[in-house]
A = this chain, B = another copy of it.
């Protein structure tokens, strides 16, 4: 079921209603930084999606999306991870609700490091180890696994907009990696 289908479901918002809500309320999001870990739990790779944005530009981004009405935060995380990484990614959603940070996306650039031209979104951000096979889904062109050092490369960071580069660096700092 694509995000569009979800929005068409009568239990949730129509596209028009969502547009109206976006002008009036902060929208709750989750962001996930998918990682590969070794046997000791140390992160070896970070998964980054490659997409074509609305303007036709290639960009890299993390996994994430809206939390729906009546949906648990952990179910929203599972849904977006499966939507973006495929049904056999086997994400290990964190056991505790405490996120490593909260990213506040403002429609006006510069209020915070995070920016979303469509809306004011507030996102609970988690690092999520994935153990299974991942395959980019929907509108993602590709999924790249980079080492933490590769992910910090300025070239990679420059291709991440909306502040996803900052969020990735904050995640790596939280993991104990030098940033």
Interface residues of A (CB under 8 A from B): 12-13, 17, 20-21, 23-28, 35, 37, 39-43, 67-75, 78, 92-102, 104, 106-108, 111-113, 120, 122, 124, 127, 129, 163, 166, 169-170, 173-179
Copies of this chain in the oligomer: 4
Also in contact, A100 and B96, with CB within 8 A (given A21-B21, A73-B122, A173-B169): yes
Asked if B95 and A127 make an inter-chain contact with CB atoms under 8 angstroms apart, the answer reads: yes
Asked if A106 and B70 make an inter-chain contact with CB atoms under 8 angstroms apart, the answer reads: yes
- Taking CB as reference atom, which chain B residue is nearest A72? B104
Interface centre among A70, A78, A100, A176 (most CB of B within 10 A): A176
Q: Which of B39, B163, B175, B178 is the one whose CB lies under 8 Å from A95?
A: B175
